[in-house]
Amino acid sequence: MPRVIVDVMLKPEILDPQGKAVRAALTRLGYTGVADVRQGKRFELTLAEDPTAEALDAIGQAAATLLANPVIEDVVSIRLEAGSAPVPHPGSTPVLDQAQ
């Protein structure tokens, strides 16, 4: 099934305490070459069918409305995975549905 990947990052000027903590842990582990870490979010939207241009536009709007808060975050990329057909993890989707 086609899949759209949306990446969201905190705006560069927004402090990222989580990224700072990750960087400190990397330094403790001996990875001293890392100057900075910023932590973001990746959303994978699996679609029922190949999206039209309008459907992709709608996803762009959804990303800017819900997936990211434009006050503190940027949607840095929205891309359709070419020929994406992820192998379904046994039981993962039905279990999630039941949990709702």
Partner 1 sequence: MTRIGVVTFPGTLDDRDALRAVRLAGADGVALWHADADLRGVDAVILPGGFSYGDYLRCGAIARFSPIMDAVGRFAQQGRPVMGICNGFQILTEAHLLPGALIRNSGLKFICAEVALYLEDSVCQWLTPQEVTSHSRTAAENNHQVRHHHARQLEATKRVVRLPINHNEGNYICDVPTLAKLQAQGQIVLRYCAPDGSCLADGSAPNGALDNIAGICNRQGNVFGLMPHPERVCDGISGNTDGASFFNTIAQTLRSIEQ
Give the separation between CA 45 and CA 24, rounded to whole angstroms: 32
For residues 20, 36, 14, 76, the Cα torsion angle rounded to the nearest 10 degrees is -120
Please, what is the minimum distance in Å from the beta carbon of residue 83 to partner 1?
29
Q: What is the smallest separation between the CB atom of 25 and partner 1, expressed in angstroms?
A: 11
What is the pattern of x (binds partner 1, CB under 8 A) and - over residues 8-47?
A: --x--xxx-xx--x--------------------------
Q: Which is nearer to partner 1, 21 or 76 (CB)?
A: 21
Residue in 16, 8, 62 with CA at minimum distance from that of residue 40: 8
